[in-house]
Amino acid sequence: MKVLVVGSGGREHALVWKLKQSPHVKEVHCASGNAGIAKLAKCVDIDAEDIPSLVSYAEAEKIDLTIVGPEAPLAAGIVDEFERRGLRIFGPNKLAAEIESSKAFCKQLLRKYGIPTAQFEIFDDASEALKYVRSHGAPVVVKASGLAAGKGSIVCRSVEEAVDAVERIMIRREFGSSGDLIVVEEYLDGEEASVMVFTDGEAVKPMLPSQDHKPVFDDDTGPNTGGMGAYCPVPAIDEALFERIIETIIKPTVAAMAGEGRPYKGVLYAGLMLTVEGPKVLEYNCRFGDPETQAVLPLMDSDLVEIINAVIDGRLNEAEVCSSRRCCVCVVMASGGYPGKYEKGKVITGVEDAEALDDVIVFHAGTAVKEGQLVTNGGRVLGVTALGDDFLSATKRAYDAVSRIWFDGMHYRRDIGRRALRRLGLA
């Protein structure tokens, strides 16, 4: 079959890489891809949010299956539009994607169905919100309800910070209409983890849990980014805790969505805080995580296309999602200045040397080819990924690979995987 992947980052490279291993897949296309994806797929220069052009392309190229990476097209209704045209597509429709695109909807759903999450209030009025944060005190978390490219949640250590956060979102409107509503929620303490599952609206088949590293610098310091690295699985989540997450959080959420007349099909991603009271939902995403996918898919033994087809056809209970017992670590190499301003077009060397190592895969994010040379083309440039029989070997291999790659101004965290090693008593 011919598959179209929508998106252009490291997550999409990992999806394309995994799809290419399926005997069911004859050709992969990608809109719009990057230099790494271009080695595996036919890249077409259509923006991930340009739904009419994506529909026309899928029709003209006789694409059998479209898989959507980022949230924006899902929130805009790409699935509804493809289905209206009789095109096969994987992901939640617009109403179901609101679990990510409206934090207000998500929080109210969780409250209504008694699913563990932080206490919260929702406001549509800045003065009411300001009154609340002044009387409530800190720490507290202020969130724009709508999509904000991962930047709309502000953890506030003082009342002054909370006031500033409300003003940024509701008065200065830094996130536009995504800040029409805000969620002010209880600060939760603990370790964070990501659990992604496949669901067809009823059955749930989990992938292995993973951990992202959002702050830009080591030891979780500095501003938040799209994610500076990930590892899989998560030593902090043993079998009993994983079962508790699936049974008390994920399955009730899937049932709640069906109960609300918004059956959820696709990948459901729970961002969790592992608190002393148990796991609680920080947020839901309506898609694969980035960079979690780069650490999760290399461990997945099952055929991704078979799982996706089972989801679309509503027979996921017949499918198997199996993973190897190894460990995977993905270190993101970023452009100088990221997550702030950065320059593009820096020549990248050493990727082939890195890939020559056993059990190493270099997923591209912001890369392009210019005048025959591989150059940087975004904030997050590469996801250098390594497998190992344990976290020590996977981490060592990932950083061996990183040390072979160079571009002007590059930076990366040196502690990806350390939390896992510490938990195992190895760091």
What is the nearest approach in angstroms of ligand GLY to the Cβ of residue 71? 8
Strands (E), 181-237: 182-186, 191-199, 204-206, 211-212, 215-217, 221-224, 229-232
Peptide bond into 263 cis (omega under 30): no
CA–CA dist 286, 75 (Å, integer): 9
Q: How far is CA 138 from CA 95, 132, 162, 168, 378, in A?
A: 34, 11, 8, 17, 36
Residue 292 sits in the site that holds ligand GLY (CB under 6 A): yes
Residue 93 sits in the site that holds ligand GLY (CB under 6 A): no
Residue 289 sits in the site that holds ligand GLY (CB under 6 A): yes
Residue 153 sits in the site that holds ligand AMP (CB under 6 A): yes
Contacts of 351-354 with C-beta under 8 Å, sequence gap 24+, read 351/382, 351/405, 353/404, 353/405, 354/384, 354/401, 354/402, 354/404, 354/405
Residue 415 sits in the site that holds ligand AMP (CB under 6 A): no
CA–CA dist 372, 417 (Å, integer): 34
Tell me which of 11, 13, 214, 380 binds ligand AMP, using CB under 6 A: 214
Cα–Cα nearest to 282, from 95, 119, 418, 165? 119
What is the nearest approach in angstroms of ligand GLY to the Cβ of residue 27? 27
Residue 155 interface partner, choices ligand AMP, ligand GLY, none, CB cut-off 5-8 Å depending on type: ligand AMP
Helix (H, G, I), strand (E, B) or coil at 23: coil
Reading the block at residue 376, the tokens are: 């940087």
Residue 290 sits in the site that holds ligand GLY (CB under 6 A): yes
Residue 185 sits in the site that holds ligand AMP (CB under 6 A): yes
Which H/E stretch holds residue 92?
none
Bridge partners of 349, per DSSP, are: 406
Residue 155 sits in the site that holds ligand AMP (CB under 6 A): yes
Neighbours of 346 (CB within 10 A): 18
426: Cβ contacts below 8 Å, ≥ 6 apart: 391, 392
The window from 53-61, 185-193, 203-211, 237-245 that contacts ligand AMP (CB under 6 A) reads 185-193
Residue 227 sits in the site that holds ligand GLY (CB under 6 A): yes
Residue 290 interface partner, choices ligand GLY, ligand AMP, none, CB cut-off 5-8 Å depending on type: ligand GLY
Residue 212 sits in the site that holds ligand GLY (CB under 6 A): yes
**DSSP assignments along 328-379, one per residue:** EEEEEEE-TTTTS------B-B-HHHHHTSTTEEEEESSEEEETTEEEE-SS
What is the nearest approach in angstroms of ligand AMP to the Cβ of residue 211? 11
Neighbours of 267 (CB within 10 A): 24
Residue 122 sits in the site that holds ligand AMP (CB under 6 A): no
Half-sphere exposure of 273 (CA within 13 A, CB side): 15
What is the nearest approach in angstroms of ligand AMP to the Cβ of residue 147? 10
Residues 141-160 that bind ligand GLY (CB under 6 A): 150
Residue 426 sits in the site that holds ligand AMP (CB under 6 A): no
What is the nearest approach in angstroms of ligand GLY to the Cβ of residue 6? 15
Which H/E stretch holds residue 132?
helix 126-136
Residues 260-299 that bind ligand AMP (CB under 6 A): 271, 282-283
The window from 57-65, 251-259, 286-294, 305-313 that contacts ligand GLY (CB under 6 A) reads 286-294
Neighbours of 1 (CB within 10 A): 16
What is the nearest approach in angstroms of ligand GLY to the Cβ of residue 142? 18
In this chain, which residue has its C-beta nearest to ligand GLY? 289
Residue 10 interface partner, choices ligand AMP, ligand GLY, none, CB cut-off 5-8 Å depending on type: none
The window from 288-296, 337-345, 364-372, 403-411 that contacts ligand GLY (CB under 6 A) reads 288-296
Residues that bind ligand GLY (CB under 6 A): 150, 212, 227, 285, 289-290, 292
In the complex, which residues of this chain contact ligand AMP (CB under 6 A)? Answer: 118, 141, 143, 153, 155, 185-188, 192, 214, 271, 282-283
